Amino acid sequence: MAEPEPEARHQAHTFTLPDQSGAVPTSAEVRAKHRIAVLEEELEMIKQDRGTKQRKTTFYVAQGRVIRRMVVLYTNLEDLIAENDRRYEEQESTREQDCLQYGYILLVQVFPWLHEGLAELDIDDCEDMRKKLKRGADVACGDDTSTLKDLVAAWLNKDFHPSQLLRSDDKQSRGFLHDVCGNFLCPAEWDWGNNHVKVGICERTSDYIVFENSWPLFLDEGYKINGDNLEQGLFMSKILVQAFKAVFTSPSSAKEADRDGNGADVLENNRRTRRQLNQVKVKTCVASIINMRKVTPRSLAYVICQVRFALSSVSSWRTVDGDFDYEVFWNNVVDFFEDVPGPVAQHRVTKLLEWWTRKIFGKTIRKALEDATFDSD
């Protein structure tokens, strides 16, 4: 078949003038194709937007898991942010405000992107971000509470062989109703073995009300105190080391609580595991995920509150348990480390935190960690 002449081809594609509506005539089929193309493009944009929002949600929730563990247990993010803003206008501050500001500084150390993000995001996006961070913080706290409820029962049953074994699914039989738990919760300066003391605590007589301003016995090394030096062995108990490892390294690593930290380089072991498995997804410890390189006062205070709750008979997490206020208790632990009265006390606190870092992360990395709590590699 002969090709059409150039003039014929030109005539076949002659532009058709618009009709009275001003529209260039097209077939219904072509118009339908155009509409479908537009709808598909809009659908793709919706999917991309939804994917972006989902990724942001996942990111913020995952990041928020650090907050209760490392920064503040009860304080709202809004209060930390407000305190940082206040300092631009007011110079004087109270101890409570200084604690809030230090919390904000820790927050932006943990989340380097947060400070600029708060300035760049609009009000609605900021609120959305804070809600998702809080969700992650609450979920992590709940996970740790559930984990330690089971583990603390197992540890006490193994170490003390109580006549009334602790059950992981039963909290009501714990607290001062249980002899081992009661001994651990008893203020260290009181003798739980004295029946008069025990009855007074259980019946909450005026002389034996357990407040948050006394250190419970479970904080002390060997679960006993030196009457001549009440700080000796304080915050050095086995159950605290076990709990810290369970939360920040892994429940299985809690078995190494009696060791002095030699060779227990948890972070390096996690890096080696990731290199060996390469593309295979593996569950790494919390300390590696959040780039934690030292045991800090607030991470320790968090674990102490979690252990205290696991020993208690209260079934759900709350701020006040009878006469005991967990928020004040957390602040007391933090103040012990952060609000020291002088250089001698500061030296003791520094040595204690070095001991903790060695127990949790091992001696092999301590030198490289002395000046940095967080690392970005």
Q: Which of 236, 277, 278, 281 is nearest to 260 (CA)?
A: 236
The C-alpha angle 124, 74, 172, rounded to 5 degrees, equals 125
Query: Is residue 372 over pLDDT 80?
Result: no
Query: Is residue 198 over pLDDT 70?
Result: yes
Residue scoring higher pLDDT (319 or 306)? 306
Using 50, 70 and 90 to split pLDDT, how confident is the model at 371? very low
Using 50, 70 and 90 to split pLDDT, how confident is the model at 375? very low
Q: Which of 13-22, 170-179, 341-350 has the lowest mean pLDDT?
A: 13-22
Q: Give 158's contacts (C-beta < 8 A, 6+ positions apart).
A: none
Query: Is residue 111 over pLDDT 80?
Result: yes
Query: Is residue 278 over pLDDT 80?
Result: no
- Reported for 347-356, long-range contacts at CB under 8 A and 24+ positions apart, including other chains, are 348/231, 352/235, 352/236, 353/294, 353/295, 353/296, 353/297, 355/236, 356/235, 356/244, 356/295, 356/300
pLDDT of residue 2: 54
Residue scoring higher pLDDT (356 or 229)? 356
256-267 tens-digit pLDDT: 776 655 434 554
pLDDT of residue 21: 64
Residue scoring higher pLDDT (366 or 294)? 294
Using 50, 70 and 90 to split pLDDT, how confident is the model at 338? very high
Residue scoring higher pLDDT (82 or 5)? 82
pLDDT of residue 263: 39
Q: What is the mean pLDDT of residues 178-197?
A: 96
In the chain, DSSP finds a helix count (H) and a strand count (E) of: 16, 2
Average per-residue pLDDT for the chain? 82
Taking the whole predicted model, whether its pTM rises above 0.85 is answered as: no
pLDDT of residue 369: 40
CB 312 within 8 A of CB 303: no
205-229 tens-digit pLDDT: 999 999 999 999 999 999 999 888 8
Q: What is the mean pLDDT of residues 270-296?
A: 63
| Per-residue tokens: 75 | 């304080």
Query: Is residue 286 over pLDDT 70?
Result: yes
- Reported for 139-146, long-range contacts at CB under 8 A and 24+ positions apart, including other chains, are 139/61, 139/64, 139/65, 140/64, 140/65, 140/66, 140/67, 140/68, 140/69, 141/68, 141/69, 141/73, 141/317, 142/317, 144/69, 144/247, 144/306, 145/306, 145/309, 145/310, 145/317
CB 18 within 8 A of CB 24: yes
Phi and psi at 265, nearest 5°, equal -80, 85
Q: What is the mean pLDDT of residues 34-47?
A: 76
Q: Which of 15-24, 58-67, 149-158, 308-317 has the lowest mean pLDDT?
A: 15-24
Query: Is residue 239 over pLDDT 90?
Result: yes
Of all residues in the chain, what percent carry a pLDDT higher than 70?
Answer: 79
